[in-house]
Structure 1
């Protein structure tokens, strides 16, 4: 196994995936306004596109994971990236909101690469090194998240459709790169079932949740995803309200936090998890994250916010530690199926939570304290920590 080229390709894949999605964030409002000729309609179409993207990712990710178990990681990953590149080209040529909606839904269906990447990491990395590898994947995710909107804004100033062409070029270039450097991490197993019950999202997630240990870890992951999405959906609005900050300052603080998180995940997560162990690192990180969220709810001065952002960066160890823990208790021939189900759970949260959190934040803004939304997020993070703390280590048990 050529582990170094394979891991490099996976890091580039995650970075370019997030970069491609981030490229279109600054220009999507302008593009939708241009094709709908109405700002209010553009907002409605934007929300619909976001929900549709998450819904299709929820539906398709378990299938992609199952296909990667049956036919191998490499063909599924390269096929997904190819479809995504072609789909970004279609975005660039769309002339109305309905084609854009259809193409964005297809982008959601192709966005299951994270599922296959996580399974691939489990294939090529020894258990005691997986947390560090997953931390590096998280770092690539964060860097793409920071760079995408910046580059997208610059390209969109030239032409509103140029970021889509750039995203397509990056995706297809990555396919060409992967074709030459990416080996197969494990041969496909043609005995892996591809029944409707096993491959549909409800059945795949249900199979994970029914397993005592894996189910508790999946519920903990869901709680962590909800806390993360509440924070992401409302944080910028909260800072605008609390400190009257403009978009530039909010963006700088957001970028600084993401960059610090990327460095921490790339350099420190592996040693921290090896020192504490997966379970203790996951529980400690979740509690640290809860403290950061709870402090944000009551922050009144900017310097304290910066401290809380730094605390939140330390809490990011929880995600990599929990991911490593999950991969260790799952058999090699079902890594794809389990990772697909977990991606589906996360996609469901990304579909539902932003709308719900936005509505709750609006109500709190009018009738109570908007910071209370972060108390709810902290509660979800604390519940995730409690579930992790109460989960025993276990040997792999097959999906049923």
Structure 2
């Protein structure tokens, strides 16, 4: 019997959350291409500029889990609002900086406030039906592409008014975004003030139902950890405390492996991001404008992949299949880029990388959120922190390889890291393996 399915309407507040992420990343995109030249006005050399970029990621690395845990306790909305106002303050400090140490202070404040993406992802997980979670995460991921395209363009226009103007524009955008969130963003975390299920008995019921679902999931012989079309929604049944604890430990182990995969993957991809402009100039003769146009094109493709392909692909391949496909695409894209295969090779490499990363980013977040339960904010915060650490390590390592080993080596090593990440994905459950083997 053919069952006709209708696309469900978006949950209340989804587009407010999406706008929050998009505007936050537009602000980041405004600052990113302007910051190095701005820092040179304070006498900063290339090494100091690299350290300046690392200071943002290090601050984000430390504070994202703190914000995530706090969002589980007091709610997503206040943390998102605090984060946006913090971004506005950091941008203002950067714009008004009169000394290099003030510039560092502004970037550190911005990094401390950079938890809005992980908390927004937790909010999406709160309001998403299980079978629609990957689709909604994909749409949130498309906001990265919007920021990647619109941010540099806005920054280039703002810079016509002077080197400080882009930072003031970024601050204004963040502040307006925070004011809109105060007015329109609904609270999505259950069990906190402002959510309709805030009563203690209903919170306890939700936690008991979640534990029961974990216990029942352990007894579904054919349920894969990551594989299979869609997401299995286990029925409720008898709860045995030791079984719930055992399943919780299994889920934690899977989440940790997924975060390690995210870390390794971001090391590889951030190395590409940090050195591609050098490769474009040295190998292909592209100037800054042409290279910026390439990055804008990558952003456009990311919007298409994360906004339109993530849902259908995960529905067909499952989360595990989508993650494998994304890592394989990244691996081959980086491998092609490691060799000088002409313009055709460049186009193929960039398409593979954009497709792979476009699928990986939201699907990894969806996979983590689907296993985190009531601790969604904490685990997504750890995932973002892992990404922050990777964005410190990846560019430093790739730059060293590019300079001292050769321009193709960052991508060859990145391809190896993508292959390593492929082996680290959580495996099928033993029961599922037996069913498949049979």
**Which residue matches 2:386?**
345
Aligned 8 A contact 2:268 2:394 in 1 = no
**Which residue matches 2:173?**
170
Match of residue 381, structure 1, among 398, 418, 432: 418
How big is each residue's C-alpha offset from its partner over 1:153-182, in whole Å with a ceiling of 9 and x where there is no partner? 221121111111111111111111111211
Whether 1:104 aligns to 2:107 is yes
What 5-or-longer segments of structure 2 have no aligned partner? 1-8, 194-199, 204-247, 432-438
Match of residue 295, structure 1, among 330, 336, 359: 336
1:209–1:176 CA distance, 2 compared to 1 (3 A): farther
Aligned 8 A contact 2:61 2:385 in 1 = yes
- SS at 1:214 equivalent: helix
Whether 1:222 aligns to 2:228 is no
Whether 1:59 aligns to 2:62 is yes
**Which residue matches 2:220?**
none
Deviating more after overlay: 62-71 vs 123-132: 123-132
- Displacement over 4 Å in runs of 4+: 2-5, 188-192, 207-210, 391-394
* Equivalent-residue separation in structure 2 for 1:352 and 1:387 (angstroms): 19
How big is each residue's C-alpha offset from its partner over 1:130-168, in whole Å with a ceiling of 9 and x where there is no partner? 111111111111110122122112211211111111111
Whether 1:131 aligns to 2:138 is no
Match of residue 367, structure 2, among 319, 325, 332: 325
What 5-or-longer segments of structure 1 have no aligned partner? 193-206, 395-400
TM-score by length of 2: 0.79
1:378, CA displacement in angstroms?
0.8
TM-score by length of 1: 0.87
* Equivalent-residue separation in structure 1 for 2:426 and 2:376 (angstroms): 23
How big is each residue's C-alpha offset from its partner over 1:92-133, in whole Å with a ceiling of 9 and x where there is no partner? 222111111112111100011111011111101012111111
Aligned 8 A contact 1:279 1:322 in 2 = no
Match of residue 161, structure 1, among 161, 164, 178: 164
How is 1:1-400 mapped onto 2 (pairs within 5 angstroms)? 4-34=11-41, 36=42, 38=43, 41-188=44-191, 211-315=252-356, 316-331=358-373, 333-365=374-406, 370-388=407-425, 390=427, 392=429
Aligned 8 A contact 2:93 2:105 in 1 = no
Deviating more after overlay: 300-309 vs 101-110: 300-309
1:86, CA displacement in angstroms?
2.2
Count of residue pairs the alignment pairs up: 370
